[in-house]
Amino acid sequence: MTDREIPRIVSARWDLADGHTLERYRETGGYAALEKAVTTMTPAQVHEEVKAASLLGRGGAGFPAGVKWGFTPPGVFPRYLVVNGDESEPGTYKDRIIMERDPHLLIEGVLLACYAIGAAQAFLYVRGEMALAQERLAQALNDAYAAGLIGRNILGSDFSVDVVLHWGAGAYIVGEETALIESLEGLRGMPRLKPPFFPAAKGLYMQPTVVNNVETLSNLPWIVANGGAAFADLGAESSKGTRLFAVSGHVRNPGVFEVEFGTTTFRDVIFGERYADGIRDGNRLKAFIPGGASAPWFYEEHLDLPLEAGAVGAAGSMLGSGAIVVMDETTDAVKAAWRIVRFFARESCGKCTPCREGTAWLEKILRRILDGHGRPADVDKLLDICDNISPSITFPPKQTTICPLGPSAVSPIASAIMRFRDEFYAYCGGGEITVPVNGKAYLSTPPTVGANP
């Protein structure tokens, strides 16, 4: 961990009681970037700054925002901007804080993005269960309209755009960008197949659409104000800027932390005093989820990996949505796996057979095992069912499904079985241990400690 003071790019106003008001936002430098862009920069220049910043998407996939914006086909209008505020991945908690405590930051980011890509309308899709975020955003939008910051001829310029607040109604899958678009069209939130439906080319109403995460867009005011280069000065080679991580579970000081991206390590955020401050009750670490419920688990030996997409990927997992869930030695691995699988089984949209039927089946078997009716053969059966959802159980996953939700249910099971197979057998009444499915290890980088006792 570097000790240098890093700017708080997206969390600057979190400590202010009135950081969500337009007044306080403006007093603390808010909407200056918008004014700068609209009065002194061309849309292309704003886009250039974002490219120079190498801002990676914070929604999970980590795709560079500037590159994504460039995929909108030239000459095809209208274009739309859709803000993904559906934050629902277990362990993930960061977008909601931004929306509740600094809604204008997000709105300013939205306006900058619309300006840069030429979006004629923006839709702010907030998770349905987040009533306070909806209230704060609605108020912020109303105030910003009244101040001439949104709407027709923003700040007296030729830039005009509406931002429509929209919210969901309880469906995790709607966080997937094409499902989000379907939902925004009033449909069931079922993902579209990519290709051919890459939103940048064929998105909302089959028009070019940029979908960005709340945190991603909230970086834009700082980038425009300070320049893309200043942003790129922070962080590591492949992961620039700062990033929010929510550290939850068995830690002394759970919280959402803005840390320098790419240089900070898992050990820093989990054990560092400034951050989560170590495992509670002096217990030992058993495992941790590095990037939300869909990510394969990490263990002790991964603590010194930097929070950097490449390194984490090479080690067989992902940073995903910036959700670190820490499990200490008291954790029941079978139960933890079941909890996560139940989530995916409940949240499957039902479109793809392997996901719809497979996740539900996995959940039933795990529940049966937890209820004491497991059989030793169930363990390999679980893995084979996993293999039918995500062939050869590798990471990043191969899919027999349209979107990665189905394979996401495979991560916790494969993680738990590979590392804690004995716990499964303990539930199942012991028995012979057979080889993992297809004879392949789960992680693309084999764990350094043997999986079986």
Partner 1 sequence: MTDTSAPPTVTITVDGKTIEAAKGELLIAAAERHGIYIPRFCYHSRMRPVGMCRMCLVQVDTGRGPALQPSCMLECTDGMVVTTDDPVTKKAQEGVLEFLLINHPLDCPVCDKGGECPLQDQTLAYGPGESRFVEEKRHFEKPIPVSDLVLLDRERCILCDRCTRFAKEVAGDAFIHFMERGSTTEVNTFPDHPFASYFSGNTVQICPVGALTAVPYRFKARPWDLEEVESTCTSCSVGCRVVVQSSRNRVLRYMGVDSDAVNWGWMCDKGRFDFEAINSDDRLGDPLVRDEGLTLKTTTWNDALRRAATAIRQGLERSGPEGFAVIGGARLTNESQYAWVKLTKGLIGSDNMDAQLGDGLPAEAVLGLPRATIDDACRPGGTVLLLGPDLKEELPVLYLRLRHAVVNDGVKVVEMASTATSLTDGLAAASLRYRPGHALSVVRALLAGDADDEVGGVTPEAIRAAAGVLGDGPLTVVVGRANLAESPRSIAAAAAAIHHTRPGVRFLSALRRANVHGALELGLSPGLLPGRVTLDAGRDWYGQHWPTLPEAKGLDTTGILRAAADGKVDTLVLLGADPLADHPDRELAERGLGGARVVIAVDQFLTESVKQADVVLPAAGYAEVEGTTTNLEGRVSTVGRKVTPPGTAQPDWVVAAELAARLGLDLGLESTDRIAAEIERVAPAFAGLTWDVLSRPAGHDGVVVGLPRVHTDGEEAAEAGEGDEARDEAAGDGEAGAEGATAQEPVVERAETAAESAEGASPEKQPTGVLPPETGVPVPVWTVIEPPSPDAYSLRLVVARKLYDRGTLVRSSPSLAELAEPATLRLNPQDFERLGVAAGDDVRITSPRGNVTVPTVPDAGVPKGIALVHANLAGGRANVLIDGQSPVTDVRIELP
Partner 2 sequence: MARFTDENVAIAEEIIARYPRKRSALIPLLHLAQEQDGYVTEEAMEHIAELVGITPAEVLGTASFYEMFKREPVGEYLVNVCTNISCMLLGGEELLHHLENRLGIKAGETTPDGKFTLEDVECIAACTEAPCLQVNYRYFYRVTPERADQLVEDLRAGKLSHEVPRHGVLSRVRQVLPENRAGVAPPDRNVEPAWLARNETATEGDT
Ligand X SMILES: Cc1cc2nc3c(=O)[nH]c(=O)nc-3n(C[C@H](O)[C@H](O)[C@H](O)COP(=O)(O)O)c2cc1C
Closest CA to 309 of 404, 241, 389: 241
Give the nearest distance from C-beta 120 to partner 1 in angstroms: 24
Binding map of ligand SF4 across residues 373-402, x = CB under 6 A, - = no contact? ----------------------------xx
Question: Does residue 13 touch partner 2 according to CB under 8 A?
Answer: no
Degrees (nearest 5) of the Cα angle 126, 121, 150?
Answer: 85
Q: Which is nearer to partner 1, 183 or 331 (CB)?
A: 183
417 and 428 Cβ atoms separated by less than 8 Å: no
Give the nearest distance from C-beta 88 to ligand SF4 in angstroms: 13
Determine the Cα–Cα distance for residues 73 and 108; give it in Å rounded to an integer: 25
Q: Which of 55, 82, 333, 405 binds ligand SF4 (CB under 6 A)?
A: 405
Q: Which is nearer to ligand X, 21 or 216 (CB)?
A: 216
Helix, strand or coil, per DSSP, at residue 209: strand
What is the maximum alpha-carbon separation in the chain? 75
Question: Does residue 432 touch partner 2 according to CB under 8 A?
Answer: no
Q: Which of 246, 251, 402, 418 binds partner 1 (CB under 8 A)?
A: 402
Question: Does residue 329 touch partner 2 according to CB under 8 A?
Answer: no
Binding map of partner 1 across residues 167-186, x = CB under 8 A, - = no contact? ----x---------------
> DSSP for 51-104?
HHHTPBPSSSS--BHHHHHTTSPTT---EEEEEEE---STT--SHHHHHHH-HH
Determine the Cα–Cα distance for residues 164 and 379; give it in Å rounded to an integer: 48
Residues 165-184 that bind ligand X (CB under 6 A): 173, 175-177
**If contact means CB under 5 to 8 A according to the sort of partner, which of partner 2, ligand SF4, ligand X, none does residue 120 touch?**
partner 2
**If contact means CB under 5 to 8 A according to the sort of partner, which of partner 1, ligand SF4, ligand X, none does residue 388 touch?**
partner 1
The pair of structure tokens assigned to 409 is 């249910």
**If contact means CB under 5 to 8 A according to the sort of partner, which of partner 1, ligand SF4, partner 2, none does residue 312 touch?**
none
85 and 127 Cβ atoms separated by less than 8 Å: yes
Q: Give φ, ψ of 361 to 5 degrees.
A: -65, -45
Q: Which residues bind partner 1 (CB under 8 A)?
A: 171, 188, 193, 196, 345-354, 356-361, 364-365, 368, 381, 387-389, 391, 398-402
